[in-house]
A and B are shown apart, each in its own frame.
Chain A
Amino acid sequence: MKDKVLRLIEEILQAPEGAITPETKIADVEEWDSLAHVMIIGALEERLGVEIPLDEAVEITCVQEILDRCQGRTMQA
């Protein structure tokens, strides 16, 4: 799951494989603007079945937080 999430984020940011790690902070990635963020949250839901509530989605600041939420969702499922 972790790798799938990282590859998905890289795909949307048009970044090379390995550019995104769990430690990556959103604010440090120029390409990760609000539009890219919406696309990432949308793709997580559409392609990986990970639903992140709106108010949580806007508070995410780093990749690890996304991974934590994916973990949480899959465990509930």
Chain B
Amino acid sequence: MISRMGYNVPKANRRRGDGAAAGRGGMGKKLAILSNVNINSLIRAMKTEFEVYEPEGYGNELLLLLDIQSGYHAFRPDITFIWTDLAELIRHEPEEEKALSYMEEWFAALEQGMPDRGIFYLSDGHLWGAEWEVLSDNGQRYVLENAFRRKLEAFCGRHANAYILPCRGLVERLGAQSAYSETMWYMGKIPYSQAMQKLMCETMRQRVRVISGVPRKVLALDLDNTLWGGLAGEADYEPVLLSEEHKGLAYKNLQRVIGQMRRQGVMLAVVSKNNPEDAMPIIEKHPHMVLRKEDFVCLKINWKPKADNLREMAEQLNVGLDSFVFFDDSQAEREQIRQMLPEVAVPDFPDRPEKLPEAMAEIYRAYFEKAAVTDEDREKTAQYAANARRQEMRKQTADLASFLKTLEIRVRVEDAGQNRERLYQLVNKTNQFNLTTVRYDREQLADCIGRADRLVRLYRVTDRFGDNGIVGAVIAALSGDTARIEEFVLSCRVMGRHIEHAVIDRLERELSGLGYAYIEGVYVKTAKNQPVEQLYDQLGYKLLSDTSGEKRYRRALAEPVEREYYIAEWSQKNER
């Protein structure tokens, strides 16, 4: 839909100036971002760079996964991110046994709903909110968080294509105080502050890059002003900076990061212009060296051009130059390598030593972290999945049914005249589940409510978690023996629960009772209402015409139709 203000939203307007990750872009990957809370703002942010699934509603990750007919499955994402609010997941239950059983339920549903392809990143959980601060035993909170983490680890252990997303780590980086926003939570069920959302998006971008690129193997390091401060050759006059304090500690911490990378399988090498007799004693004996000679697979400490040294090293180690990352404080050296050996990755060097450890962690994430899954893994899953698919489909539908039943959905038809403002809002601010996107002003709505040839219905939906409020509206025009649905909207809060099937079913019964023989519906395509494009087809309506984004449907009310919905209770006042 074209903006009424006359400006266009620029697509892909933000190219991240992320030097370290250049060359490992993730364009062309399809992403889905799901959650049990509202993370639609993350989707909106990621959409400027990636193709992202636009979910039917929010906070309904399990419904989307379990419903094989959901837009999620049709979208076939390459990577699915699931951010979980742990307190919501355990329904704010502090008692361990119950909380654990809710976790288990969740993982079981996830297991059922996970499609046979694509990669999954699942967040660990952090318990946020004042209620957790007044627990008599605060350890209880960590018990629950850790239990979720353990279950997540076990889950990822069972699924080669599932990985952990460190939500808790991100919260810790910011501090819980800054990571959450009560205002946005109460207003729109968005728990995360915008600073936190930025970190979440960064994390997702980084994971996409990891998956898209081939990981590198060798980290080639300079020595002077890289692994330590100062110059080895001058050490007699001025000791190198490597210690437990100030800048010296920054270099030591950099070495700790690199040492950790070695444990993850990164090969370390030294390429440095020094006299070996100056450098080696430091590497072998300096009390604050974390990395020692045996940590390196290769040491080239000489005065030859570094490009020559790297070529030799590649040969000796029998790996391609495209497996190398070159880390050097000298801009001139970096430039030379970039020009002479373009296959070698040359990340920027931070301007201050205190930034070194974090910069190295970023280099690890950008270049070395193992791609989530091998091609072999992918093929294997695809094979058996194809066979199991048909069988699964029936099973999953059954599971969705039982899941929806547990929600104990109750619908009440509310009086339109008494809820005019809500009707006005619903009609004018609903974009996704909106069949026609016809907007009405208050007078037009008042007119509709008063007229005998219009039928206006409002729907309140309650489930076992509470009252969702008035979340649906229908306006139908009555003429002769036919009722035509001119407006049908449903808030994204309750989408994906088959409530629309119940609404139409009940409406048809009511119309039938009033003596109408036909019902007609129309779908008018907009930029945002793709989720309901097939609605009338699913409801058993016959397509009459399909012209320029407008599809007209009709159904004889006497014809039998089968629909599935799970409403525990339906109540309606007799309005007419």
Q: Do A and B bind each other?
A: yes
What 1/0 flags go to A39-70 for Cβ under 8 Å of B? 10111011100011010011000000000000
B5 within 8 A of A: yes
A19 & B5 in contact (Cβ 8 Å cutoff): yes
- Smallest beta-carbon distance B216→chain A, Å: 35
- Smallest beta-carbon distance B244→chain A, Å: 37
* A39 proximity list for chain B (CB < 8 A): 41, 184, 190, 194
A28 within 8 A of B: yes
A30 within 8 A of B: yes
Most chain B beta carbons < 10 A, residue from A28, A42, A54? A42
What 1/0 flags go to A8-45 for Cβ under 8 Å of B? 00000011100100000001111101110111011101
Cα(A46)–Cα(B114), bound, Å: 36
A31 & B3 in contact (Cβ 8 Å cutoff): yes
* A28 proximity list for chain B (CB < 8 A): 4-5
Residues 1 to 23 of chain B near chain A (Cβ within 8 Å): 1-5, 7, 9-10, 13
B181 & A45 in contact (Cβ 8 Å cutoff): yes
Cα(A37)–Cα(B40), bound, Å: 13
Cα(A64)–Cα(B265), bound, Å: 58
* A30 proximity list for chain B (CB < 8 A): 1-5
Cα(A12)–Cα(B401), bound, Å: 39
Residues 172 to 191 of chain B near chain A (Cβ within 8 Å): 181, 183-184, 186-188, 190
* A43 proximity list for chain B (CB < 8 A): 194
A54 & B41 in contact (Cβ 8 Å cutoff): no
* B10 proximity list for chain A (CB < 8 A): 14
* B194 proximity list for chain A (CB < 8 A): 39, 42-43, 46-47
B530 within 8 A of A: no
A46 & B193 in contact (Cβ 8 Å cutoff): yes
Most chain B beta carbons < 10 A, residue from A14, A19, A43? A14
- Smallest beta-carbon distance B45→chain A, Å: 9
A54 & B7 in contact (Cβ 8 Å cutoff): no
Chain B, residue nearest A26 (CB): B429
Cα(A43)–Cα(B181), bound, Å: 10
Partner of A38, one of B48, B190, B429: B190
* A31 proximity list for chain B (CB < 8 A): 3, 9
* B431 proximity list for chain A (CB < 8 A): 33
Chain A, residue nearest B184 (CB): A42
* A16 proximity list for chain B (CB < 8 A): 7
Size class of the B contact interface (CB-based, 8 Å): 20 to 34
* A19 proximity list for chain B (CB < 8 A): 5, 7
* A58 proximity list for chain B (CB < 8 A): 187
Cα(A15)–Cα(B44), bound, Å: 14
B428 within 8 A of A: yes
Chain B, residue nearest A58 (CB): B187
Inter-chain residue pair count (beta carbon < 8 A): 69
A33 & B183 in contact (Cβ 8 Å cutoff): no
- Smallest beta-carbon distance B122→chain A, Å: 24
- Smallest beta-carbon distance B548→chain A, Å: 21
Given contacts A14-B48, A43-B194, A54-B183, contact A33 B429 (CB under 8 A): yes
Chain B, residue nearest A24 (CB): B5
B4 & A14 in contact (Cβ 8 Å cutoff): no
B195 within 8 A of A: yes
A54 & B186 in contact (Cβ 8 Å cutoff): yes
* A34 proximity list for chain B (CB < 8 A): 188, 429
* B4 proximity list for chain A (CB < 8 A): 28-30
- Smallest beta-carbon distance A19→chain B, Å: 6
What 1/0 flags go to B426-449 for Cβ under 8 Å of A? 001101000000000000000000
* B195 proximity list for chain A (CB < 8 A): 46
B184 & A15 in contact (Cβ 8 Å cutoff): no
* B44 proximity list for chain A (CB < 8 A): 35
Chain A, residue nearest B527 (CB): A30
Chain A, residue nearest B1 (CB): A30
Cα(A76)–Cα(B187), bound, Å: 24
* B429 proximity list for chain A (CB < 8 A): 33-34
Partner of A15, one of B5, B40, B41, B48: B5
A57 & B187 in contact (Cβ 8 Å cutoff): yes
What 1/0 flags go to B180-218 for Cβ under 8 Å of A? 010110111010011100000000000000000000000
Cα(A35)–Cα(B41), bound, Å: 7
Most chain A beta carbons < 10 A, residue from B187, B194, B195? B187
Chain B, residue nearest A14 (CB): B9
* B188 proximity list for chain A (CB < 8 A): 34-35, 37-38
* A29 proximity list for chain B (CB < 8 A): 3-5
6 smallest CB-CB distances across A and B, nearest first, come from: A38-B188, A42-B184, A30-B3, A38-B187, A14-B9, A42-B181
26 A-B Cβ contacts within 8 A? A15-B7, A15-B9, A19-B5, A28-B5, A29-B3, A29-B4, A29-B5, A30-B2, A30-B3, A31-B9, A33-B431, A34-B188, A35-B38, A35-B40, A35-B188, A38-B187, A39-B190, A41-B183, A42-B181, A42-B183, A42-B187, A42-B190, A42-B194, A43-B194, A54-B187, A57-B183
Chain B residues within 8 Å of A, Cβ to Cβ: 1-5, 7, 9-10, 13, 38, 40-41, 44, 48, 181, 183-184, 186-188, 190, 193-195, 428-429, 431
15 more A-B residue pairs beyond the given contacts A19-B7, A35-B38, A38-B187, with a C-beta to C-beta distance below 8 A: A14-B10, A14-B13, A15-B7, A28-B4, A29-B5, A30-B1, A30-B3, A30-B4, A35-B188, A38-B188, A41-B183, A46-B193, A46-B194, A52-B183, A54-B186
